[in-house]
Structure 1
Amino acid sequence: MILAAGAVARQPHLRNFVRLALSTGCRKNELLALEWHRVDFERSLFRLECEHTKNGKRRLVPLNSGALLALRDQRDWVARHCAGSEWVFASSSGRRVGNLQKGFVAACARAGIENFRIHDLRHTFASWLVMEGVSLYVVKDLLGHSSITVAERYAHLSPDHGREAVQKLLPL
């Protein structure tokens, strides 16, 4: 629903931002600071440098097909409206987009979504991974957390995993 609302947003980059956030779990500022030379379409990843991450560590972010599609759409928009801009999320003047809050709130309202923040896209990404059975250690690494403690808040989303784990034991 939010993607459909974002499609008609006055800020054309909002839809691609939401798609990329839901596909990577990156923080808002990590995505807004992303530069084109850090995106590797061939290897399906981008690099977040230490000055743009919360924990100050460089991170390689793998890209799924949805993320690649969002980046290609964004690249096409930038080429048409502000060719040569170094920023993935650039305004029509070519400068880095600084804030998406107003457009995001409006898109959520159009979609009938209440009490949803941009950071909740990151939580949604992590929740989806855990519900698909992805290890909390992998989720921790993808989110760029330095310890497993923060990722553990998603553990309750996989109640069947304990059942599946004990089924792997040989019968006594």
Structure 2
Amino acid sequence: MPIYQREGSPYWWYTFSIDGKRFRGSTGETKERAALLAEAEKYQLERGRPTADQAWRLREVLGTFWTEHAQHLSSASDIFFHFEMLSQFLGPSLPISDVTNAKLLDYRAARRGGTIEATEELVRDRPKAWRHRMITKTGFIRPVAPQTVNRDFAHIQAAMNWARDVHGKPMPTIAWTRLKSKEAPFRVRFAAATEFEQLMSGAHPAMRTIILCAVTTGLRRANILGMQWHQVDLSSCTITLPRVKGDKPHSVSIAPVLRAALARTPPNLRKGPVFDATNYKRRWQGAVKSADLRDFRFHDLRHTFASWARQNGADLADICEALDHSSVAVTQRYAHIQPETTTTAFDRVADLLASQSRSQSRKKRA
């Protein structure tokens, strides 16, 4: 019997079985026709829901992706933290089929608004400096920029795609594109020659070598501060990073001025970290203040490398390779910077004629 009435209740009730599992409950309707429709809708909903051996919870989806793939990526630490926050916010036992656009929008609002609690379980493995930077005095994770939330969603989407494509698990339909927050225009701030001179002049001697490495190689701060001497080959003037963004080995050339600075370290002391990162933050801030630079961050040295290379004739493909970007599309942020000396077709013809004229003049004098 699909629907029935219970004594003392004004509502119609339903009862049905699917694969041996019985479902019963109130339709919430007092009219028989409306109750039949409600019962049919409930039946279709339960019929389409994955069975117990098929369905995964949020913890299975995130945990499987982490174990089988994400933990081996260079961004593993960030991915793990994002997964921990999502699990805390939605609940690790939430069936993955119950993850909806609305719940992810709530998560986005919490991340942007700084209302996710920094529980001890969430931050216990994080260093003291990170806690000071990321946790408010009231015990919440600080609000983040739109691109950070979008990166969260990219990791979650990757985990769900992995469960679907690798393990054949049914996943809910999520409007990922519409969930993304609008990001601010990309910021490109680079140092002028005079600003760089002032920065080097006011920096601590140990910080000068770090700054010099950043502006001549374009490497990221983490790669520079974590660089070991075994990654540096002064004879071939190369630095090889075995693991960088994208999880691929990456080599950069050592400019003569940087080689000279690194060579000051005696060969018998070239072990362990290349650079002295003691009091790094205080020394960097002191150098920026001494140079009186406005709105200048360490990452801007990487922009300086790319911008100077572009100004001196490097094309976007060369810069893309040097910065280890995933594609030239990422390097397009420097497209607006034009080389200071551009050789046009007119210049080439003029140079050719000038060369021929000089040659003829020499012949006449002979």
Measure, in 2, the Cα distance between the counterparts of 1:145 and 1:2. Answer: 27
Residue 70 (structure 1) aligned with residue 267 (structure 2): no
Residue 45 (structure 1) aligned with residue 238 (structure 2): yes
- Are the aligned partners of 1:20 and 1:70 in contact in 2 as well (CA < 8 Å)? no
Which residue, 337, 348, 359 being the options, matches 1:157? 337
- Are the aligned partners of 1:48 and 1:60 in contact in 2 as well (CA < 8 Å)? yes
Measure, in 2, the Cα distance between the counterparts of 1:30 and 1:123. Answer: 15
Could you tell me how far 1:98 is from its partner in structure 2? 7.2
Measure, in 2, the Cα distance between the counterparts of 1:69 and 1:136. Answer: 28
SS at match of 2:294: coil
Could you tell me how far 1:169 is from its partner in structure 2? 9.3
Aligned to 1:123: 303
Amino acid at match of 1:145: H
Aligned to 1:88: 274
Select the structure of larger CA radius of gyration: 2
Deviation by residue 1:35-58 (Cα, 9 ceiling, x = unmatched): 1111111101110111xx122110
Aligned to 2:292: 112
**Which runs of structure 1 show a deviation greater than 3 angstroms over 4 or more consecutive aligned residues?**
163-170
Could you tell me how far 1:146 is from its partner in structure 2? 1.3
Measure, in 2, the Cα distance between the counterparts of 1:151 and 1:99. Answer: 32
Measure, in 2, the Cα distance between the counterparts of 1:86 and 1:139. Answer: 30
- Are the aligned partners of 1:36 and 1:86 in contact in 2 as well (CA < 8 Å)? yes
Measure, in 2, the Cα distance between the counterparts of 1:21 and 1:39. Answer: 15
Could you tell me how far 1:166 is from its partner in structure 2? 5.2
Measure, in 1, the Cα distance between the counterparts of 2:320 and 2:278. Answer: 27
Aligned to 2:71: none
Amino acid at match of 2:236: R
Could you tell me how far 1:23 is from its partner in structure 2? 0.7
- Are the aligned partners of 1:24 and 1:67 in contact in 2 as well (CA < 8 Å)? no
Residue 61 (structure 1) aligned with residue 258 (structure 2): no
Could you tell me how far 1:70 is from its partner in structure 2? 2.7
* Compared CA separation, residues 164 and 151, structure 1 to 2 (3 A): same
Q: TM-score, normalised by structure 2?
A: 0.38
Aligned to 2:201: 4
Larger RCO, structure (CA 8 Å, separation 6 or more): 1
Which residue, 219, 238, 243 being the options, matches 1:26? 219
Amino acid at match of 2:272: E
Measure, in 2, the Cα distance between the counterparts of 1:122 and 1:133. Answer: 17
* Compared CA separation, residues 23 and 84, structure 1 to 2 (3 A): closer
Aligned to 1:93: none
Amino acid at match of 1:33: G
Q: Which runs of 5 or more residues in structure 1 are unaligned? A: 91-96
Measure, in 2, the Cα distance between the counterparts of 1:99 and 1:85. Answer: 20
Amino acid at match of 1:123: H
Aligned to 2:324: 144
Measure, in 2, the Cα distance between the counterparts of 1:55 and 1:99. Answer: 29
Could you tell me how far 1:84 is from its partner in structure 2? 6.3
Amino acid at match of 1:89: F
* Compared CA separation, residues 137 and 84, structure 1 to 2 (3 A): closer
Taking only the aligned residue pairs, the percentage that are identical comes to 30
119-128 or 143-152: bigger deviation:
143-152
* Compared CA separation, residues 62 and 160, structure 1 to 2 (3 A): closer
SS at match of 1:61: strand
Could you tell me how far 1:109 is from its partner in structure 2? 0.4
SS at match of 1:157: coil
Could you tell me how far 1:165 is from its partner in structure 2? 4.8
Q: TM-score, normalised by structure 1?
A: 0.78
CA RMSD of aligned residues (A): 2.5
Measure, in 1, the Cα distance between the counterparts of 2:270 and 2:262. Answer: 15
* Compared CA separation, residues 160 and 19, structure 1 to 2 (3 A): closer
Aligned to 2:282: 102
Measure, in 1, the Cα distance between the counterparts of 2:242 and 2:247. Answer: 8
Measure, in 1, the Cα distance between the counterparts of 2:307 and 2:318. Answer: 12
Aligned to 1:94: none
